[in-house]
Amino acid sequence: MATSGKVIRCRAAVAWAAGKPLSVEEVEVAPPKAGEVRIKIVAASICRTDDYVAHGGFPNIDFPIIPGHEGAGIVESVGEGVTSVKPGDKVIPLCIPNCGECTFCLNPEANYCVKSHFSEPQNLMPDKTSRFTCKGKQIRHFLWVSTFAEYTVTPECAVAKIDSAAPLDKVCLLGCGFSTGYGAAINTAKVKPGSTCAVFGLGGVGLSVVMGCKVAGASRIIAIDINKDKFAKAKELGATDCINPQDFNKPIQEVVTEMTGHGVDYSFEAIGRVDTMIAALASCNMNTGVFVMVGELPSGGVVPVDPLLLLTGRTWKGTLVGGSKARNFIPRLVSSYLEKKFNSDLLITHTLPFAKVNEGFELLRAGKSIRTVLLF
């Protein structure tokens, strides 16, 4: 391409400081170095985690930073030594890399990687420099992805090639939100046919859990939220029961236990609140129940738990981006999407031009959107 090897000037949404609205700026994006890929982002979607970043609630980040971690685009150019993608390929950037060399990557059952943000911050590229500058200042990357930019640079291990037939404005949310929820049911919980499930929180991730439970063959899926406006969509996606904790004068875990006899086989929390995590844990069967923590507590949050909840045999699990190696799992999800095994389009409630990124966050905070897609 004509831009290969050159600095590209383009728009990006910069978070200059915690708690401030994002500012759409002209930024300079340097060419990819060895082992790196520069991507033209076609569409990005807004996830609650990006809101945490903008408010300074995500661990180990520095400002100024370009957030965004759900997106899809086309490879513009590649650095020396890159072999898995080439210019023109459709790709999804990955918020959990897959270096292929660490003990996690070499373990077929693991989907973590030592190059992930939870081991070492991904605010700068592996060589400890940034590819973004704005107004003469170095701008930090977010999870090596930074999809709120028209062009972004990622290491090769943090990008996956997808089917060329994939519509980028639809599959962009498979980079995190959908894969996290759907995979929590399919890969982490391993929901069995005929089982019962409870899902706390019906945002984009929670509704993706509902879809995963349905595809896995669950016979009963209880969807729980204090926003009744989410119930119609939850039922459309597979929920059999929808309940609002505010309609009862007893703890919601007691309601779920009474509805099912001894609690559900699998429970999921997709909000990131201490009270709902404890309720979800207590809602699953006291002996064989599995609770999967999908929601993300703000940095520094602590969950106080009665040990008897676990002593009787319950399992409490965490999950990261769907519990499967993202570099393989996400392209497979794209293929399943094209085969119409699920319809993640139903999660997209709003589509906005990129310049209205802050409006997209307002919709999220007001509970009016499930997923907003930003188009460049």
Looking at the structure, tell me whether residues 172 and 182 fall in a common domain.
Answer: no
Cβ atoms of 7 and 31 closer than 8 Å:
yes
Given a cut of 70, whether residue 275 has pLDDT beyond it is yes
Report yes or no on 360 lying in a domain.
yes
Looking at the structure, tell me whether residues 314 and 334 fall in a common domain.
Answer: no
Q: What is the pLDDT of residue 272?
A: 92
Report yes or no on 143 lying in a domain.
no
Looking at the structure, tell me whether residues 158 and 171 fall in a common domain.
Answer: yes
Looking at the structure, tell me whether residues 371 and 247 fall in a common domain.
Answer: no
pLDDT in tens, 225-268: 999 999 999 999 999 999 999 999 999 999 999 999 999 999 99
Which of the listed residues 302, 318, 334 is the one where a domain comes to its end? 318
Report yes or no on 293 lying in a domain.
yes
Looking at the structure, tell me whether residues 164 and 94 fall in a common domain.
Answer: yes
Separation of alpha carbons 348 and 164, rounded Å: 21
Given a cut of 80, whether residue 171 has pLDDT beyond it is yes
Looking at the structure, tell me whether residues 129 and 220 fall in a common domain.
Answer: no
Given a cut of 70, whether residue 360 has pLDDT beyond it is yes
Looking at the structure, tell me whether residues 262 and 275 fall in a common domain.
Answer: yes
Buried b (16+ CB within 10 A) or exposed e, 353-376: ebebbeebbebbeeeebbbbbbeb
Domain of residue 271 covers 178-318
At 333, is the secondary structure helix, strand, or coil?
A: helix
Given a cut of 70, whether residue 1 has pLDDT beyond it is no
Cβ atoms of 302 and 278 closer than 8 Å:
no
CATH number at residue 58: 3.90.180.10
At 260, is the secondary structure helix, strand, or coil?
A: helix
Question: How many residues comprise the chain?
Answer: 376
Looking at the structure, tell me whether residues 100 and 244 fall in a common domain.
Answer: no
Separation of alpha carbons 351 and 360, rounded Å: 9
Q: What is the pLDDT of residue 300?
A: 79
Q: What is the pLDDT of residue 203?
A: 93
pTM of the model: 0.94
Percent of the chain with pLDDT over 90: 91
How many other CB atoms sit within 10 Å of the CB of residue 107? 11
pLDDT in tens, 283-323: 999 999 999 999 988 777 899 999 999 999 999 999 999 99
Which of the listed residues 318, 335, 352 is the one where a domain comes to its end? 318
pLDDT in tens, 22-64: 999 999 999 999 999 999 999 999 998 899 888 888 888 899 9
CATH number at residue 279: 3.40.50.720
pLDDT in tens, 67-122: 999 999 999 999 999 999 999 999 999 999 999 999 999 999 999 999 998 888 89
Which residues 6+ apart lie within 8 Å of 7 measured at CB? Answer: 28, 29, 30, 31
Number of H helices, E strands in the chain: 11, 17
Amino acid at 68: G
Cβ atoms of 33 and 162 closer than 8 Å:
no
Separation of alpha carbons 112 and 118, rounded Å: 9
Count of domains for the chain: 2
Q: What is the pLDDT of residue 296?
A: 85
Q: What is the pLDDT of residue 315?
A: 98
Residue 215: what are its φ and ψ, rounded to 5°?
A: -60, -35
Looking at the structure, tell me whether residues 203 and 277 fall in a common domain.
Answer: yes
At 354, is the secondary structure helix, strand, or coil?
A: helix
Looking at the structure, tell me whether residues 229 and 314 fall in a common domain.
Answer: yes
Burial of 319 (0-12, 13-18, 19+ CB in 10 A): buried
What is the token pair recorded at 168? Answer: 């980028």
Q: What is the pLDDT of residue 277?
A: 97
At 95, is the secondary structure helix, strand, or coil?
A: coil
Looking at the structure, tell me whether residues 276 and 240 fall in a common domain.
Answer: yes
